Structures are given as C-alpha cells and as structure tokens.
Structure 1
Amino acid sequence: MKYFFIRLIRKINPFAFLYPEGDKGIEAVGHREYIGGNWDEIGALQFNFLVSKGLKPESFLLDIACGSLRLGVKAIPYLEAGHYLGIEKEPGLVKAGLEQEMDPVVKAEKAPRIIISDSFEFARLEQKADFAMAQSLFSHLPPDMINHCFKNLHACLVDGGAFYATYFEVTTARKNPDKPHDHGYFAYTKQEMLAFGEDNGYSAEYIGEWNHPRDQRVVEYRKV
C-alpha cells in the first residue's frame, strides 16, 4: 500500500477569511502560520502531554489533521519505525512538513505513514492506534463532522485506546457554522464535548486546562 509521507488547523483570527483554504492559503501565509502558528510551543505541548499520558516508543500514534507535522516532528523521531500514523486533507501542508521540517534521515528511518483524506478514512492506514490526537481540529468543524470522526475512529483504536481532542469552550451552547472552515471559529460546551464521545462508544473524561496558548481545553476519550 502506498503512503504519502505526510494536520490542519488554527485559532480565532480576525483575518480568517482574508485568504483562501488549501494550497493558495498555505502559499499566502506559510505552512506554520496556516495551522495557527505557535509552532514549537504547541508541538512540544502536544508531545509532552502524550508522553505524560503513557505514550511510549512502541506505541502507535494517530495524528488526526496532522498538517505540516507540528506534532510529527516531535513524535516521529521518538516512536519506532512506522508507528506514527497521520491523516490530513491538505497535501500542500504535508509536503511542506516533510520537505521543510523533517530531517530526511529521520524520515527515511522512521517511515511515518500518512494519508491524504478529507473524510476520516482511518481504516486506510491498516493499523490500530494506541493513542490518537486531534489538536484544534474540532475548533473548525460542525457537529456532524465531529460525530463522523468519532464513529470512524472507534474501529481504528485498540480496546481501551485513548483519544485526546481539544476545543474552544463556551458555557452556553452556540450556533456554530454549518460548514467546516480551516480558519473559522467553532466552540462547544463541556457537556457537548463529553456527549460526542459517549454517544459514539467511548468513555469521556474532562481534563480541561492543559496550558494551551489559546486556552483550548482537552478531553480524554477511551474506547469501550
């Protein structure tokens, strides 16, 4: 099976709609800014958080919306060969991450497995994950797409596998946009975020604050 050695994302941005999604937007602002900047800070935050939750070199990690490899450049050298799994809808981000952020020797030795997909086709990776991470993905998606992510992921996690997802939290449910947007703003209540997991076959534990620079909160979901 051929893999593209290949994330998506951003934060509240008053200029969100001043440049397009996809390759033109990536070219306009660069692969680091397109996914929200804070490259080293958020990459290290994710990696250290996962290690604190039990990520080991022998673990299989699924980076959902892996983009230009902000987490990948930390996780790929740490994990055993072939144990980093990524999925991303924008090939331009993946290309930039692989060519501009990854050491070519490390890339060859660690053989990350990454696919291009805009519909959460995790099964194409042909490997169940011990851990999955979606950092800021749900801050750009409407509820139907979040549910689709949870449903597709369930079969691709090991029993008891952990999925960590971040989001912008509000105290009262709001009407989010109907369509996803890489630089749009979507926010959910704690109760809504717990329900996404519980309604799709996961136990859900609210973690909340985890030192995210834009105050995104995090929830742990476990496959049951």
Structure 2
Amino acid sequence: MTQAENDYREHVFLGHLRHRHNRSQDRLWSEHQAMQLSFLQRRGLRASSTVLDLGCGPMRLGSVLIPELSHGWYYGQDLNAETLTYGEEVLRQAGIPSNGRYTLFASDQFNLSAVDRPIEIAFSNSLFSHLNLNSILTCLLRVRQVLAPGGVYYSTFFVAQPDRPWLDPQPRDKWGQGFCTHPHQDPYHYPPTVLQAMAAQAGFRMDLMRDFGHPTQTMARFRLRRRWW
C-alpha cells in the first residue's frame, strides 16, 4: 500500500472519535459495528474461531468481537501503528485486558508473519475500496498463506455501476452524504468480474454476499479453489 494509493499511512481512522467515551452514540461507529458482528455470527462465527481482521482500524469491530472468542483468537492488522494504539485504548475502555485473546500488529504490504495459527475467518470492511488492483492481489495472496483448509475471506468493495462508464466518477450516497468513487484513485470502484479474475489469480473463487447490509458497499466471499486430480 502506498501513500499515493490512499492516505491511511498518515491518517488515523475514526480519529475524530478518539477522545469520546460515548462512541456508541455515533452512527458511523455503532451501526457498522453491529452490522459487521451480526454478519460474522450469521456466517458461522464460533467461540473457538480464529479471526483475522485486515485493516482493522481502532477496534470498532474488535472491541465486540474479541469477547465472543472465548476459546479462539483475534488478529487485527492495520497499516497505521497509531490507529492500533487508539485501538488498544478502545479495548481497555471496553474492559478487554492487554493479555486478552488477541494480537494487534501494524504491517505494510499485508505482511502477516504475526499470524501464528491457521485463520478460519478473514474479514475486512471498506479495505478494497481504498486499494488498487496490485494491492488487492497482494492481500489475497497473503491471506491465502494463513487461511485454514475450509477457511473463508470476506471483504467489501464498491461495485462499479453497470449503467455508467467504468472510467467516469460514480456518485454514491451514504446516509445523505454524497461522494464519488473512481477507477484510478481512492475510493476505488471495480466490476465484480475484475475482482473475480484477481481471486482466480490468487487461487480463490469469489462470489457476492447480498445480506451484509452496508449502505454503499457489497460483500465478496473468497474461498480456496478446489483442486481436481
């Protein structure tokens, strides 16, 4: 991931909420937190699951997911070390001790050497929407290295609108706030067929999950391709 690709190397995600103890009253925090946890629970999250949260941010999801993993483990990866320091503050405020069942690590180019057990569920919300195709392929190849047999990776992205030229900015609306996605700059949009090609290159098969509930993004599911011989 490069600075030109997006600004998360320097930007602390959700930093405007860092010194608020009532984050649950903020829609951007609470609705996304509930949406993500509910999705994982519907998709088979167990107390013994090993979960990798890529681009995990300041523990918006981690603070409610870690308590669910009484016999499992949570790994949170992010590009920005200060965002993870913020995340540790959120975990303490949530009553999760520093020796809890989790590992947070900052890494560039999706270096996952800190992951020391097979991952059953990998997850990322609003990660591919900030990545170019080279970084998406890198991410998929890295995830494949740590995924357990039968494991799955879920990641959201902006679907390119089929009625608009892919090369043009495409307008979006999230809770009344308008913005555009782009083919060449952050935030990025992609046709599903392009990500399916990236998935195949990395050894995955990809399909879309329509029940995630994100107001502007679509959830993709990546499963390891079966080998027939």
Q: TM-score range by the shorter chain?
A: 0.7 to 0.9
Residues 54 and 104 of structure 1, relative CA distance in 2, 3 Å threshold: closer
CA contact (8 A) 1:26 1:92 kept: no
> Which whole-Å deviations, capped at 9, do the CAs of 1:101-137 have from their partners, x for residues lacking one?
5447423452311111021011322222100001100
Provide the TM-score with structure 1 as the length reference. 0.78
Q: CA deviation at 1:94?
A: 1.1
Distance 1:126 1:41 in 2: 31
Is the CA contact 1:58–1:80 (under 8 Å) kept in the aligned structure 2? yes
Identify the residue that residue 73 of structure 2 maps to in structure 1. Answer: 83
1:100 CA displacement: 3.3
Secondary structure at the residue paired with 1:123? coil
> Which whole-Å CA distance do the structure 2 matches of 1:154 and 1:64 have between them?
13
Higher share in helix: 1
State the distance in 1 between where 2:136 and 2:145 align: 16
- Tell me the CA shift for residue 207 of structure 1: 1.5
Distance 1:122-1:24 versus aligned 2 partners, 3 A rule: closer
Residues 1:73 and 2:74 aligned together: no
Cα RMSD over matched residues?
A: 2.7
Q: Which has the higher contact order (CA 8 A, sep 6+)?
A: 1
Q: What is the aligned partner in structure 1 of residue 175 from structure 2?
A: none
Stretches of structure 2 that go unaligned for 5 or more consecutive residues are 1-5, 20-25, 168-181
Instruction: List, as ranges, runs of 4+ consecutive aligned residues in structure 1 with deviation greater than 6 Å.
Output: none
- For residues 57-72 of structure 1, what are the structure 2 equivalents within 5 Å? 57-72=47-62
More strand by share: 2
Report the alpha carbon displacement of residue 89 of structure 1 after superposing the two structures with TM: 1.0
Q: Which amino acid aligns with 2:222?
A: Y
Distance across 1 between alignment mates of 2:93 and 2:119: 24
CA distance 1:209–1:188, change in 2 (3 Å): farther
1:95/1:160 CA distance change after superposition, 3 Å: same
How many matched pairs? 198
Task: Report sequence identity in percent.
Answer: 25
